[in-house]
C-alpha cells in the first residue's frame, strides 16, 4: 500500500487553518459517500436484473434453510446427492402434508360454510330492502347501472390486467426454477463457488474475505430457523385465539398462519384475514371483531417483540436496527425489500465484524 505523500509547504498553512475535527469528519464523509455510491450501483444492477437477482437471492435463502439437514445427513455418511435430494424431498413432503390437511378440512366444512354464506348474503339483501340511510329503489338501480357501465368501459383494461397477471405467473414460475437451481448448486458445490469469488480479489485481502464469508454464512443459516420459529409462534397464538372464540377449523387456521407468516407482513395479513372471515361466517360480526383484535395483537407482538428479540439475539444486531431495517427495506423494495432486509443486515454486520477481528489478529502478528 503506497504511503500518502506529505503535503507541500504551500498547502500546509491552508490545511492547518482547518480544524482537525473538521478534516477527520470530511475524510469519513468522503469514505461514506464512496461506500454509498457503491451500494447504489449494486442496487441499480439488482433492480435492472430483478428477474434473475431476486430468484438468485431466494435460492441463497433456500440453501441456508436446507444446509443443516444436508450437513446432518452428510455426517451420517450419506452421499452428497442423496442428502440434497432427501432434504428437498422432506421440505416438499411437509408442505404437501400441510396443504392436504388444509384442503381436507375446508372440503369437510364447505357445505356448512356455504349455507352460512348464503344466510349472510340473504341478511345483507334484507338490510338493503329495508332501505337503510335513506336509500330508494331509484338509488339502488342507479348504483347497479353505474357498476354495469364501469365494467363495460373498463373491460379492455380488465383484460389487459388479466394478461399482465398471466405474465406475472410465468415470471414466478421462471424465478422458482432459478431459485431451485441456485440452491442445488450451492448445496452441491458452494465451497468452490465461494473460493472462486475470493480468488477474484487481491491476495492480501483473501484471508480477511474468507473469514468474513464464514461468519456471514453462519449468520445467514440462522435466518430461516428464526423465521420458522416466529411463524410457529404466530400459528400457536392465533390458533389458541380461534379455539377460545369457538371458530371452526382451528388446525387449518393455524397451518395457514404458519405458512403465511413465512412471508413477512403480507403473509400474516392474508392469514389473519382468512381467520376473521371464518369467524364472521361461523359466529357473526362480534366474534369476527374479537378474532380481528387477536390477529392485530399477535401481529404487533411479532413485529415489535418476538421478531426483534429473536433476530437481534441470533444475528448480534440490536432490535431497533432490525425494526428500522425492515421498514427501510419495505420503503425501498416493498414486500421483497422487507423480506431481505433482516438477512442482508445481519450477514453484512457479521462479515464486517469478522473482517475487523481478523485484521486485528493480523496486526498483532497472530495471522488470519
**85 burial type by CB count under 10 A (0-12 exposed, 13-18 middle, 19+ buried):** middle
Residue 239 lies in a domain: yes
- Indicate the helix (H) or strand (E) that contains 266: helix 266-283
Residue 24 lies in a domain: no
Residue in the structure block whose three cell numbers are 393455524: 254
Residue 294 lies in a domain: yes
Residues 250 and 239: beta-carbon distance below 8 Å: yes
What is the model's pLDDT at position 114? 66
Residue 271 lies in a domain: yes
Are residue 194 and residue 134 in the same domain, yes or no?
Answer: yes
Are residue 220 and residue 361 in the same domain, yes or no?
Answer: yes
Out of 153, 169, 198, a domain closes at 198
Residue 141 lies in a domain: yes
Distances in Å between the Cα of 222 and the Cα atoms of 64, 139, 171, 218, 335 are: 8, 59, 29, 7, 21
Are residue 56 and residue 155 in the same domain, yes or no?
Answer: yes
Domain count within the chain: 2
Question: HSE-up of 94 (CA within 13 Å, CB side)?
Answer: 8
Are residue 137 and residue 235 in the same domain, yes or no?
Answer: no
Dihedral pair phi/psi, residue 264, rounded to 5°: -60, 140
Residue 4 lies in a domain: no
Residue 80 lies in a domain: yes
d(CA 336, CA 267): 12
Out of 198, 233, 258, a domain closes at 198
What is the model's pLDDT at position 263? 65
Are residue 166 and residue 67 in the same domain, yes or no?
Answer: yes
Q: Cα angle at 122 between 116 and 128, to 5 degrees?
A: 140
Are residue 218 and residue 364 in the same domain, yes or no?
Answer: yes
Are residue 208 and residue 246 in the same domain, yes or no?
Answer: yes
Are residue 78 and residue 171 in the same domain, yes or no?
Answer: yes
Out of 142, 174, 198, a domain closes at 198
Are residue 213 and residue 353 in the same domain, yes or no?
Answer: yes
Are residue 132 and residue 281 in the same domain, yes or no?
Answer: no
Domain containing 102 equals 49-198
- DSSP label of 364: T
Are residue 206 and residue 355 in the same domain, yes or no?
Answer: yes
At a CB cut-off of 8 Å and minimum separation 6, what does 84 contact? 66, 70, 184, 187, 188
Residue 8 lies in a domain: no
Residue in the structure block whose three cell numbers are 366474534: 287
Are residue 90 and residue 161 in the same domain, yes or no?
Answer: yes
pLDDT one digit per residue (tens) for the chain, 368 residues: 444 455 555 555 556 677 777 878 888 888 888 888 887 787 777 777 777 878 888 888 888 888 888 888 888 888 988 888 998 898 888 888 877 877 777 777 666 666 666 666 566 666 655 555 555 556 656 666 666 666 555 555 555 455 555 556 777 788 788 888 888 888 888 888 888 888 888 887 788 788 888 888 888 887 777 878 888 888 888 889 888 888 877 888 888 888 777 765 566 777 788 888 888 877 778 888 888 898 888 888 877 777 777 765 666 677 677 777 777 777 776 777 777 777 888 888 888 888 777 777 766 544 44
CA 162 vs. chain centroid, Å, equals: 26
CA Rg value for the chain? 28
Residue in the structure block whose three cell numbers are 428479540: 309
Amino acid at each position: 500500500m503506497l504511503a500518502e505523500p506529505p503535503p507541500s509547504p504551500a498547502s500546509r498553512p491552508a490545511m492547518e487553518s482547518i480544524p482537525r475535527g473538521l478534516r477527520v469528519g470530511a475524510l469519513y464523509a468522503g469514505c461514506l459517500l464512496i461506500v454509498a455510491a457503491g451500494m447504489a450501483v449494486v442496487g441499480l444492477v439488482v433492480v435492472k436484473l430483478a428477474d434473475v437477482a431476486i430468484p438468485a437471492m431466494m435460492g441463497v435463502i433456500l440453501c441456508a434453510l436446507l444446509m443443516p439437514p444436508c450437513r446432518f445427513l452428510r455426517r451420517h455418511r450419506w452421499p452428497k446427492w442423496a442428502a440434497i435430494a432427501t432434504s428437498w424431498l422432506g421440505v416438499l413432503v411437509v408442505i404437501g402434508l400441510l396443504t392436504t390437511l388444509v384442503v381436507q378440512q375446508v372440503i369437510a366444512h364447505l357445505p356448512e360454510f356455504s349455507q352460512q354464506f348464503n344466510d349472510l348474503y340473504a341478511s345483507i339483501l334484507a338490510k338493503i330492502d329495508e332501505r337503510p340511510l335513506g336509500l330508494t329503489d331509484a338509488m339502488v338501480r342507479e348504483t347497479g347501472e353505474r357498476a354495469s357501465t364501469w365494467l363495460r368501459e373498463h373491460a379492455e383494461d380488465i383484460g389487459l390486467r388479466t394478461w399482465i397477471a398471466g405474465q406475472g405467473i410465468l415470471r414466478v414460475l421462471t424465478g422458482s426454477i432459478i431459485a431451485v437451481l441456485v440452491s442445488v448448486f450451492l448445496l452441491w458445490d458452494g465451497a468452490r463457488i465461494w473460493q472462486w469469488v475470493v480468488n477474484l480479489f487481491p491476495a492480501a485481502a483473501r484471508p480477511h474475505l474468507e473469514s468474513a464469508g464464514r461468519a456471514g454464512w453462519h449468520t445467514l443459516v440462522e435466518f430461516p430457523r428464526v423465521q420458522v420459529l416466529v411463524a410457529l409462534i404466530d400459528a400457536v397464538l392465533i390458533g389458541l385465539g380461534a379455539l377460545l372464540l369457538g371458530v371452526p377449523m382451528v388446525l387449518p387456521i393455524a397451518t395457514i398462519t404458519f405458512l403465511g407468516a413465512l412471508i413477512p407482513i403480507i403473509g400474516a395479513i392474508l392469514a389473519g384475514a382468512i381467520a376473521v372471515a371464518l369467524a364472521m361466517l361461523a359466529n357473526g360480526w362480534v366474534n369476527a371483531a374479537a378474532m380481528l383484535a387477536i390477529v392485530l395483537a399477535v401481529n404487533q407482538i411479532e413485529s415489535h417483540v418476538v421478531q426483534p428479540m429473536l433476530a437481534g439475539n441470533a444475528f448480534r444486531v440490536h432490535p431497533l436496527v432490525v425494526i428500522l431495517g425492515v421498514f427501510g427495506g419495505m420503503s425501498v423494495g416493498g414486500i421483497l425489500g422487507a423480506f431481505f432486509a433482516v438477512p442482508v443486515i445481519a450477514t453484512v454486520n457479521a462479515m464486517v465484524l469478522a473482517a475487523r477481528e481478523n485484521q486485528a489478529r493480523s496486526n498483532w502478528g497472530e495471522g488470519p
